[in-house]
Amino acid sequence: MLLSSELSEITDKLCSGSFNEAASGVAMLDTVLRSLVPAIKNSRTSGAHDARLAEFLACQDSFQLNMASALLSAYTTLLESGNSTSTILVANRSLQGLLLIHSPSRNIFSRKCAMRTVLSFLEPSYPSYSTEVCVSVVSLLVHILLKKHGQYESFRGLRRTTACDSTSSVRRARPVDYRADFTV
């Protein structure tokens, strides 16, 4: 299957409005991104270009196949579903990776509705609100905000982010050591 066809199928799933379809799309995107990791590492160390990675990046420049935009659509579905912690964590990790390899996708977060959607996961009233989700969202915000700080602050983002740490309603299943592991 051509990568563009695969990304089209993923986009359809992410934008479907169905939790099961969106979760399937997130898993499929995660698989595609993981398959690109060796090519990304190789291009950074040796400068070699990989055809599949080049095709993926070219697809990100198109409106129809931009995975960051499709993930944003899936976030709305995940917010509405309420109980989607593991899917949110994978979606956030995928979006972090996308923003690292295709920085123009950050431009999506210049839109107020996009930043509002991401910040919604930090609201204590969100059913899947947990330390894991908060840490994942904060890490995602770091990736987004490398160049988009103004939009973040217009929604009192810092206040919401720091509230995550101090809110007593954060449900903790067990102590977890969280390490932010990303490269800029």
Q: Is 35 among the domain residues?
A: yes
| Nearest Cα to Cα of residue 68 among 34, 91, 42, 87 | 91
Residue 183 banded pLDDT, cuts 50, 70, 90: very low
pLDDT per position as a tens digit, 7-54: 999 999 999 999 999 999 999 999 999 999 999 888 878 877 889 999
* pLDDT at position 178: 44
pLDDT of residue 162: 52
Alpha helices (H) in the chain, listed in sequence order? 3-14, 19-46, 51-60, 67-81, 85-101, 112-119, 131-144, 149-154, 157-166
CB neighbourhood size of 97 (10 A) = 20
Residue 95 counted as domain residue: yes
User: Is residue 181 in some structural domain?
Assistant: no
CA distances from 148 to 31, 36, 52, 82, 111 (A): 28, 26, 29, 27, 10
127 in any annotated domain: yes
The answer to whether position 177 is within a domain reads no
pLDDT tens digits along 69-101: 999 999 999 998 877 899 999 999 999 999 989
What percentage of residues in the chain have a pLDDT greater than 90?
57
Domain residue limits at 72: 3-166
Q: 121-167, pLDDT tens digit by residue?
A: 999 888 888 899 999 999 999 888 875 545 445 555 555 555 555 55
In a domain, 56, yes or no: yes
Confidence class for position 182, pLDDT limits 50, 70, 90:
very low
The number of distinct structural domains making up the chain is: 1
